[in-house]
Structure 1
Amino acid sequence: MKHTPAPAHALPAEQPTALAAALSTALATLLALSAITLSGCGKKIDQEPLHLDAGPTNRPPALTDNCGSGQLTYWDFVQPQPTESGSVDLLFVVDTSASLDNKRSRLATTIPDFVKGLSPGTDYRMGVMLAHGGASAYSGSLYSAPGVPRVLNSKLHSPSQVQAYLTKDLKSPPSDIDEANGEMGLYSLSRSFEAGSVAGLKAQGFYRDDAALSVVFISDENDICYRPELHGYTKFPDFVPSAQNSEVTAYKRYCLNSDGSEAITPASVYARAQAMKPNQKLSLASIVHVDPARVPQGSGLEESIGHGILELVEQSGILGIGHVLMDVMDTSYRAGLEKLGNIVSTQLKLNTSFSLDTSPDNSNEGLTIRPETVSIQVDGVAVNRQYDPASKSVKIALPDAGKAGSLVRVAACKE
């Protein structure tokens, strides 16, 4: 990548140019697409420099107004095309409450079938994490049924073995041992991102540094760390009081700081997940109650809208990662999982960090720029950026990264 000194003037900006079968196919698509990555640093594009318009506080005014004659320089990058890679960790975070037994058994007989349709050579790992509270040894760790490996590995296990193992894992997981009731997916996942837990999972062959991470939550009610009644949801189907107020007990025990503030929230869990995958190799999905009209109601039932999980998964959409919401009452999850695969394959591997350090041909060796003048455009549209002088790199948000083939131009004033 080499920079190009720009003339003192600049031209106007360019214009921006049956359930088992369905679920099997959808999950195959998810992991196959998850294995697609985008790579490469881009290439120099010969065209006139772009005029950088004024914008938000972290985007400086037009460089032509600031640099002075001959002091404007710029770098061009091209978002790469898809290439085969093949590295994805797929984690199921599973509600183990008795209310989900029938649905989980149904899922257990269909989810494993996805391996039949995987592309040859795809390097996938699968794991199951129970949505248990802090009193359970399973919280924040991988669970496997007796005789089943903790991590299902496409390089070690045949497709038929993976199917059989995952069926055992999902059909009859152990119940939680206290008021958490196996309904604390946010808490369990958050614990898995703690340093000690990450080290343990990596030692088991999961949470690989070079692998994309896809997390799928399965539940039929709200997460305990998200109390709907504290967020304005006070009636069915958004809120259903728990027997003997057990969920409130677990919430106070596991979800709060010592001063009573919330420690586990959708935002905090998402921040930890994003820190695990700083290069945006992350996707989230949920199989929970979404449609209020389809939530069953009756004596002894505590099923409700999947608040907490929904807010976490939607957080990834707000911040540009992309998200997929599926209703647990659906007879097919194909469309949702195909969408998740598309997100993984097209968005998550776009370059969002661009180095302005010395290029291979040393054309900018010794170049010093004024950090406050760094600006960036994607396909001719100015976007927000963060510049790190220490690493000489500029970062943008994934929603601003364009698409495969997009031109990314970084410009700055020389000192």
Structure 2
Amino acid sequence: MRTTRQFTVAATFAALLAACTTSRGPVGEVDPTIIGPAGGSVQSQSGALKLDIPAGALTKEASITVQALSDVTLPAGSIPGTAFELGPDGLTFEKPVEISIAYAPGALGSGDQSWLRVVQILPDGKIAPTEHVAHVEADGRVVARIAHFSRYALANLKTAKATISTTLTRITDVDVLFVIDNSGSMGEEQASLTQSFPLLTQRLEKAGLSFRVGVTSPDLGAGKFGLPSCERAGGDAGKLQNAPRIAGCVGPTDPWIEKTKDGKSNVPGGDIGAAFSCIARLGTSGCGFEQPLEAAHLALGGANPGFLRKDAALAVIYVTDEDDCSAKDVSLFDPSNNTLGPLTSFRCFEHGVTCDIKDPRLPGARTQCKPSAGPYMHDISRYISQLKALKPSGAVVVAGIAGARGPVVVGLDGANPTLKASCQSAGGIAAPPVRLAAFVDAFGSAGKLTNICNGDYQSALDTLGALVTKQTSASWCLPYDPVDTAPLTKGLQADCTVVASQAGPLPACTQGQTSACYRLEHGPACGKSSTRIHIENAEPAAIGKEVFAICLAP
């Protein structure tokens, strides 16, 4: 009767490592073992190598051989006496075959056992780690899975070549900032947002992410001009809002909501969704000149000490039915300045956006609209630069739940120019978010704009959660900064071998590449090291649960 040992399946990986391989031939040959579709077990003459071929791995009988190899030169750190050739060479399997190779624990340095891997010896003199299953220290064995026969051995990947090699760590923390419009038209939108919020956290929890969620408003007041609903100088000033907004509700004990990977939270009772509703229903008495980009700039720029974690990814979500009106000069809100036109949000469009028609007040449809920088409004580059300085591109996600991008049409309200709504729902209307859309678009695939007029934000928040998960699954931290092999060339040029557990060996990204590849990035999201490996053009399932890298290190 066959017996099998159960092992905890670890994350897998494959990587090409430099090596030199020579052989004077097999020794210790064993008689062939006939294995058929029912499966079976084979071991080397010494018992050092064992094969467990499951039922269904073979479609017909095969004559299996295991031969020990002598005089094989392997990379530094390989384990003597562990090289074998499995035959027939190139035999492939319908199901993974479990291989285990024994080693003498005394032959290793302290702590080196965890670096042991079963590796394939390639014809070109390199080695490739196989799908790692377990390290059974009590038995002195390393277990892996293979899909075909070749030459295999044990190697200590820590010293496999004159570099530092490591299994990378994934970014597993994310800080989420919501900037939620609290002007007079946002009551129903806030209700829809809080109802759909659990879909976001469910995505994050399923991906094994810890998260913090902070809420602020785009209300920054209107300077010294005490306009209705803008009376408070500075408004909320980008500070996180955690005051209960619903009678009897329970919010977090910190300015933000937090849940760790082990399920602990700072919400009494642990109901994260209810806590978000408690603090995110900001009401509808906020300033009607919404400044969401500047509010986030303040929130992330020092208004909330302790909120941002150095090693965490960052997601910023703007929820508003107006475009951004982040003012560089608050005299934009001066009600007595008739040259600026009527005191309406059209001032924000006139001084913050340019289109194909030069006269912003001329009625009619607009095309080619884009943000502009002038004496009254901030250039959106201010906000793009801040986020890119805070986190590398692979560790930031930007999203907007705002009006439809178009049409952009200037109309008249009596004799006064007005920007017509670009979409309408039962909850109200929303303006085209020219500035906000351009800001979101600046982050490429890490940016997402959703129509606020859809009413139901379940899809928007589920998509956002998937986007955050994708970004964090693609971002892996090196525990050291590799040597820049071309210091005179812009950017980090390093001698690295990178492999994802499912995607396999990855090339360095080149301009316009659409297949899976890796890119080295500098940024503060990796603890002691400032270097991350970001995998592009690959979904989380295609990357796998582990990424392995060897880079030339100082």
Same-fold status (TM-score > 0.5): yes
Task: Tell me which of 135, 158, 167 is aligned to 2:277.
Answer: 167
1:133 aligns with 2:217: no
The Cα shift of 1:138 comes to: 1.0
Q: 1:377 to 1:337 in 2, by over 3 A?
A: farther
Task: Tell me which of 173, 182, 201 is aligned to 2:305.
Answer: 201
Match of 1:23 in 2: none
CA–CA distance in 1 between the matches of 2:116 and 2:394? 18
CA–CA distance in 2 between the matches of 1:263 and 1:110? 32
1:399 aligns with 2:525: no
Percentage of pairs with the same residue: 20
SS in 1 for 2:212: strand
Q: How many residues are matched?
A: 317
- 5 Å matches for 1:111-130? 111=197, 119=205, 123-130=210-217
Task: Tell me which of 180, 191, 195 is aligned to 1:94.
Answer: 180
Q: Which has the larger radius of gyration?
A: 2
Q: 1:2 to 1:315 in 2, by over 3 A?
A: same
Check conservation: 1:112, 1:167, Cα contact below 8 A.
no
Give the TM-score of the pair, scaled to structure 2: 0.44
The Cα shift of 1:91 comes to: 1.9
Check conservation: 2:193, 2:457, Cα contact below 8 A.
no
CA–CA distance in 1 between the matches of 2:480 and 2:282? 53
CA–CA distance in 2 between the matches of 1:42 and 1:189? 47
- Please list the CA deviations of residues 39-79 of structure 1 after superposition, one character each: whole Å capped at 9, or x if unmatched: x99999865599xxxxxxxxxxxxxxxxxxxxxx9969788
SS in 2 for 1:287: strand
Match of 2:343 in 1: 244
1:337 aligns with 2:461: yes
CA–CA distance in 1 between the matches of 2:199 and 2:506? 45
The Cα shift of 1:308 comes to: 2.2
- 5 Å matches for 1:257-272? 260=375, 263-265=378-380, 267-272=381-386
The Cα shift of 1:392 comes to: 10
Give the aligned residue type for 2:394. Answer: Q
The Cα shift of 1:291 comes to: 6.0
Give the aligned residue type for 2:440. Answer: V
CA–CA distance in 1 between the matches of 2:384 and 2:115? 28
Q: 1:394 to 1:283 in 2, by over 3 A?
A: closer
- Please list the CA deviations of residues 301-360 of structure 1 after superposition, one character each: whole Å capped at 9, or x if unmatched: 87312222222222222xx5x2332211224333333333233223334346657769xx
The Cα shift of 1:143 comes to: 1.6
- 5 Å matches for 1:343-354? 343-351=467-475, 354=478
Give the aligned residue type for 2:474. Answer: L
Unaligned 5+ runs, structure 1: 8-39, 51-72, 228-240, 359-366
Give the aligned residue type for 1:156. Answer: N
Give the aligned residue type for 2:383. Answer: V
Normalized per residue, the structure richer in helix is 1
- 5 Å matches for 1:1-400? 4=18, 48=124, 85=172, 87-111=173-197, 119=205, 123-133=210-220, 135-146=233-244, 148-149=251-252, 150-154=255-259, 155-158=265-268, 162-173=272-283, 175-176=285-286, 181-194=288-301, 196-197=302-303, 200-202=304-306, 206-225=307-326, 244-246=343-345, 248=347, 260=375, 263-265=378-380, 267-278=381-392, 280-290=394-404, 292=406, 295-296=422-423, 303-317=430-444, 320=445, 322-351=446-475, 354=478, 371=487, 374=494, 379=505, 381-383=507-509, 399=536
CA–CA distance in 2 between the matches of 1:133 and 1:407? 46
Check conservation: 1:93, 1:185, Cα contact below 8 A.
yes
Q: 1:349 to 1:107 in 2, by over 3 A?
A: closer
SS in 2 for 1:348: helix
Q: 1:162 to 1:220 in 2, by over 3 A?
A: same
CA–CA distance in 1 between the matches of 2:533 and 2:181? 36
CA–CA distance in 2 between the matches of 1:163 and 1:392? 35
Normalized per residue, the structure richer in strand is 2
Q: 1:127 to 1:42 in 2, by over 3 A?
A: farther
Give the aligned residue type for 1:278. Answer: P
The Cα shift of 1:287 comes to: 1.1
SS in 2 for 1:280: helix
The Cα shift of 1:275 comes to: 2.4
CA–CA distance in 1 between the matches of 2:531 and 2:201? 39
RCO greater where, 1 or 2, for CA within 8 Å and sep 6 or more?
1
- Please list the CA deviations of residues 162-194 of structure 1 after superposition, one character each: whole Å capped at 9, or x if unmatched: 4444334333436345xxx25111010012232
Unaligned 5+ runs, structure 2: 1-14, 22-113, 127-160, 222-232, 246-250, 260-264, 329-339, 353-370, 408-420, 499-504, 511-518, 523-527
Q: 1:141 to 1:78 in 2, by over 3 A?
A: same
- Please list the CA deviations of residues 269-290 of structure 1 after superposition, one character each: whole Å capped at 9, or x if unmatched: 2331232233833222221123
SS in 2 for 1:201: coil
Q: 1:42 to 1:174 in 2, by over 3 A?
A: farther
